[in-house]
Amino acid sequence: MAEREREPAGWQLEQSAPEAYERYLVPPMFAPWAERLIDATDFERDDRVLDVGCGTGIVARRITDRPGGVGTVVGLDINEKMLEVAETAAAKSQLEIEWRRGDVTDLPFSDGAFDVVLCQQALQFVTDPSAAFREMRRVLGPGGRVAASVWRPLEYNSGYVELAEALERHVGDDAETMMRSPFPEWTGEDLGTLVRDAGFSESLRTIEIGSMRYPSVEEFVRREAASSPLSEPLGNIEPDVREALIEEVRNALEDYIDDEGIVFPMESHLLTAQR
């Protein structure tokens, strides 16, 4: 009962999904995983670093603020609203980062412009990941390094399995598809093939396991909705349908509920390679 008593009354979804993403998903999820991505890469003080698919910029911010520093940092994303939030967050911390709008399959940079390219949880949304890796290699100088993370398939991320299935039953197929989209059916070998075909060498693939915590099941559903394209379909459903959805997720994830809310494991591929 403790978990249910913590649930807030009402159901309010923020107007800005990028702002909700920065508020709800970056601190508990993307910030810790950004550290794993950064730790997997060797940096020099004068490195030119590109964060592609940067979202609200947590990887770029953490790189800029790391002890020892680097040369320059550029964050690139195709979503203008994400970049606006990224620029605001960096300015608050007085971090010097260049923000650029662009497509990872057609990077707006010259050959060899960077020493390190990082990509956290963005490749699964790219229509042509092979082209993305070719472009990342193109903008790297000799000996340049790339590090990328991609969630493992949905079945390895149990909380989202149950949410996707509940969305299908209570909201519809489109909502389920949205929830599944961050978790591509890629194996580690699939990623290895992508980097080899792009011309990279010395690639290393690892499986990283972490966790995600929310203060309640209702907040799990609400925050995921507020931070993604699910905001419209979930914001428009009737309250009784929403409550039935939340109750289904709660029952399915009962073993992951404790006195502080709900926590469940998450698994990601982490890939590093050299030009």
Give the model confidence (pLDDT) of 137-178 as tens digits: 999 999 999 999 999 999 999 999 999 999 999 999 999 999
Whether residue 161 lies inside any domain: the answer is no
Which pTM value belongs to this model? 0.92
Whether residue 239 lies inside any domain: the answer is no
Domain with residue 203: its CATH number is 3.40.50.150
> Exposed, middle or buried, 141 (CB in 10 Å: 0-12/13-18/19+)?
middle
What per-residue confidence (pLDDT) applies to 108?
A: 98
Whether residue 204 lies inside any domain: the answer is yes
- Give the pair of three-digit tokens for residue 115: 């020493």
Whether residue 123 lies inside any domain: the answer is yes
What per-residue confidence (pLDDT) applies to 9?
A: 36
Whether residue 75 lies inside any domain: the answer is yes
Q: Which residues contact 22 (CB under 8 A, 6 or more apart)?
A: 56, 85, 89
C-alpha 43/C-alpha 104 separation (Å) is: 22
Q: In three state form, how does the secondary structure of 179-236 look?
A: HHCCCCCCCHHHHHHHHHHCCCEEEEEEEEEEEEEECCHHHHHHHHHHCCCCHHHHHC
- Partner residues linked to 270 by β-bridges: 149, 206
Q: Is 273 helix (H, G, I), strand (E, B) or coil?
A: strand
| Domain coverage including residue 208 | 8-154+183-213+266-274
Overall domain count for the chain: 1
Whether residue 202 lies inside any domain: the answer is yes
What per-residue confidence (pLDDT) applies to 3?
A: 42
What per-residue confidence (pLDDT) applies to 6?
A: 39
- Give the pair of three-digit tokens for residue 137: 């290699």
C-alpha 220/C-alpha 222 separation (Å) is: 6
Whether residue 258 lies inside any domain: the answer is no
Q: Is 97 helix (H, G, I), strand (E, B) or coil?
A: coil
What per-residue confidence (pLDDT) applies to 26?
A: 97
Under-70 pLDDT residues of the chain: 1-15
Whether residue 1 lies inside any domain: the answer is no
What per-residue confidence (pLDDT) applies to 11?
A: 53
